[in-house]
A and B are shown apart, each in its own frame.
Chain A
Amino acid sequence: MKGRLTAYAGYQLRDYFATRALPTLVASGLVAWALAAARGMTLSDLDPTGGIDARDRVQQTFELLLATFGFVAGAVAAHGVVSHHRMRGYDRLVFSRPVSPVRYYTQGFVLAGIGAVVLGSVGAEVYAVAVHPVWLPGVAGYVALAWLLVGGLAFLLSTLTAFYLPILALVLAADLTLDHFTGALAAAGAGRVVTAIQVLLPPAHVLVSLRGAFARGLPIDPLAVGWPAGFGAACIIVAMVLLWRRPFRS
């Protein structure tokens, strides 16, 4: 008698919306608000009635929201899937059943990604009705890409350590910081070193740079998408191998 994991998918999706949707929205809102405040943005930046400049400001505000949501939703999508599950000891009850840990966790992670895309799309639709029209397929695509990169890395880290969230924040921040100083470091003759490090780090800066193209429905460079997508996919595959070899905490 095999476990009915496909039938269990409904519960996993329900769990995402019941326990992680609201924290995702709240955390995204808080981070976006902090970033907006740091950039001197105000509520008037959400008013599109002031001509082309106003519309551009509204678009930039939306892109900030989208990028923030993508990162937060990606990280939260992996939260609770492996590490939390193990720390709380739920794994012993679940995996005494005829269920593969690899499939159970991967299914939970994929469904959380679907939940994140749905949540992002609904949020974008609300924004479109309340503030300014947005290109919904672009929003869904961007959130999916963010889930693949940020979520994939979080998924991998959560199979390795209980402290995956601080580590995730650290490596993403390291990549964004390095990208910020790339020009200066290249001028100082450290261009090759920077490039080598950036290849190892998750390409968060690429993800950030793609937000405009996705949000505005502009043509997207497949190579630019391929880097974060490939990095995230590789993380997920490595995570699955680790789960297969080491399904439990110890």
Chain B
Amino acid sequence: MSTASDAGPAGAGGAAAGAVIELSHVSKTFESRSVSPVRALDDVSFRVAAGEVAGISGPAGAGKSTLLAIAAGHLRPSSGSVRIDGSEPRRFVEREGIAYLPQPVALPGGWRVSDALTRLAVLSGVRPTYTKHRVEAAMRELGLYDDRRRRVRSLKGDARLRLGLAQAIVADRRVIMLDEPLEGMSAGSLDRLRELIVRLRAFDRAILIASRDTAELQRVTDRVTLIERGRTRRPGAPRRATPADVEGVFHITLHQGGEHVLAVFPNAISLGRSTYAVRVTGFAALNRGLRDLLERGALLASVTPAHAAVDANSLTLNEVGM
């Protein structure tokens, strides 16, 4: 059996709750009359817990998009079971909806950016009084506000991807699935995406991101599961930093007390939206700093490892041929 469910603790999200997204022994074979059947997924088990940001990485054709499509209920598995919050995926999606970034981002080319987002907000069930606000907020967050009157067909690459992300976040969802959000993204957009993921992280939210870019995925997720030829491979180490790490960068998001950050972490860099990148030497230093912050009256919303353990994991990933 190929499983990622037991690939270590849930991660820095500290998912104490049960699995929100759960694939159990899922296989998918695409049948065709003209070519021999293609086994896209082979006995894959995978879980994402509440509060967790999980990544799935692998080369093109490894089965990442198939896995996401099955998890989103767009494809039915040939065997195995899929549950979102305990329900069959389609049932969950039709009841609550999910934030989903497909690959590619396909929308009618004649729609204008703001019109497309408004339509999708309406379909998401965003109330009429909030629709305009939500659409504008999504456009501003993804840097699309100046493009709001442009036709979708005129958006290429990076801008199209940001539109895909904007439509995904135009409504609040407990389950978020992003398929290749890093593909072709500019450096500026990558920063936006990192900030977005930090903002989206919540105790009751499960986020699953698929990408070929293992290193970047490791930066933004709690753990990365490798997939190759339809089978998940046990990652060399969970994304969680270990005491052996001599140095690491963490993203700290505060609810209040941002003015104390520099006093505690002199090398902190503001990432916006009350989120700061801090470089610390080991867990002891991190926890000392956090305790100091709390004592000064700060309220902590989340702590996410940003760079920690990347090297250790990359080494392991190289060992398994990634």
Contacts and interface: CB of A to CB of B under 8 A. Distances in A.
Interface of A: 1-5, 7-8, 11, 18-19, 88-100, 247-248, 250
B259 interface: no
Contacts of A8: 119, 122-123
A194 B30 CA distance: 41
Which 3 residue pairs of A and B lie closest in terms of their CB atoms, listed nearest first? A96-B100, A89-B106, A98-B97
B214 interface: no
Given A1-B171, A8-B123, A99-B123, A93 B93 contact: no
Given A89-B104, A91-B74, A96-B99, 16 more contacts: A1-B125, A3-B124, A4-B128, A7-B122, A8-B119, A8-B122, A88-B108, A93-B102, A93-B106, A93-B120, A93-B167, A96-B93, A96-B102, A97-B120, A98-B94, A99-B97
Contacts of A95: 74, 93
A95 B90 CA distance: 9
Contacts of A5: 123
Q: B72, B93, B167 — which one has the most chain A CB atoms within 10 A of its CB? A: B93
Interface residues of B, number: 32
B96 interface: yes
A97 B125 contact: yes
B119 A3 contact: no
Contacts of B108: 88, 90
Given A1-B97, A248-B74, A250-B30, A97 B123 contact: yes
A247 B75 contact: no
A225 B126 CA distance: 43
Nearest to B100: A96
A94 B120 CA distance: 7
Given A8-B119, A8-B123, A99 B94 contact: yes
Contacts of A19: 110
A94 B73 CA distance: 13
A91 B102 CA distance: 10
A248 B108 CA distance: 18
A195 to B, nearest CB: 35
Contact of A98 (B93, B100, B119): B93
A119 to B, nearest CB: 19
B95 interface: yes
B93 A89 contact: no
B122 A11 contact: yes
A97 B74 CA distance: 12
